[in-house]
């Protein structure tokens, strides 16, 4: 069944788009909520009137999207990604991460509008696309900064520290054992003295 969208509905499209959906989805969800009108309506005059309103709304939405897109294309979203000694990244940057960062900057963009060729796993300047309208797509710059590879340096220091801790624990246990033996004797002798 073909319907014409009256509102932006991201899983399907934007205002004025003609989309093909299952009949039950259209009859039970889209049409009752006023999100779409049936494209094969018997009343063609009413459909033409509705289409005029829909197209006017589409032009308005497009103008808003272009205005927002001009602002969004100037934004650079920055991330820090942990990198290993050989340059291998620990994790990646996805559209969900970009959505969260944009919301943190005050821009309301849904993750389904953000298009990445693949998840970002390397440092540098990358590009993503944000589809704000069916006819408006703007580039978004994503800057990834590599965190210093500290894992290798910590690993060698940690092993030395670990050895030192084991020795100190062992020495401490020996000291405690000797102290406990001395303390036990001194307590016993004090008890013996008090009993006499």
Banded pLDDT at 44 (limits 50, 70, 90): low
Better pLDDT: 77 or 134: 77
Mark which of 43, 65, 87 sits at the end of a domain: 65
Banded pLDDT at 195 (limits 50, 70, 90): very low
* Residue 3 structure tokens: 């319907």
Cα–Cα distance, 1 to 29 (Å, whole number): 13
Residue 12 lies in a domain: yes
Same domain, 60 and 92: no
Summarize pLDDT for 126-163 with one digit per residue, the tens.
999 999 888 889 999 999 888 865 544 444 444 444 44
Same domain, 34 and 87: no
Q: What is the pLDDT of residue 99?
A: 92
Same domain, 105 and 61: no
Residue 51 lies in a domain: yes
Cβ-count burial 145-172 (b if 16+ within 10 Å, e if not)? eeeebeeeeeeeeeeeeeeeeeeeeeee
Residue 57 lies in a domain: yes
What range defines the domain where residue 109 resides?
Answer: 76-147
Domain CATH number, residue 86: 3.10.430.100
User: How many folded domains does the chain comprise?
Assistant: 2
Q: Which DSSP helix (H) or strand (E) runs through 69?
A: helix 44-72
């Amino acid at each position: 069944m073909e319907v014409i969208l009256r509102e932006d509905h991201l899983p399907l499209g934007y205002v004025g788009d003609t989309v093909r959906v299952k009949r039950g989805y259209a009859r039970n969800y889209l049409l009752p909520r006023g999100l779409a009108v049936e494209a094969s309506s018997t009343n063609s005059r009413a459909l033409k009137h509705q289409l005029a309103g829909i197209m006017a709304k589409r032009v308005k939405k497009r103008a808003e999207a272009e205005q927002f897109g001009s602002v969004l294309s100037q934004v650079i979203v920055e991330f820090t990604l942990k990198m290993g000694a050989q340059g291998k990244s620990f994790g990646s940057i996805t559209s969900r991460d970009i959505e969260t960062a944009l919301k943190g900057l005050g821009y309301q963009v849904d993750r389904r509008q953000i298009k990445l060729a693949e998840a970002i796993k390397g440092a540098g300047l990358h590009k993503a696309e944000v589809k704000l309208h069916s006819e408006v797509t703007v580039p978004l710059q994503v800057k990834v900064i590599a965190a210093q590879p500290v894992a290798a340096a910590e690993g060698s220091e940690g092993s030395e520290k670990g050895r030192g801790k084991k020795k100190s624990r062992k020495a401490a246990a020996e000291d405690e054992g000797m102290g406990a033996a001395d303390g036990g004797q001194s307590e016993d002798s004090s008890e013996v003295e008090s009993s006499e």
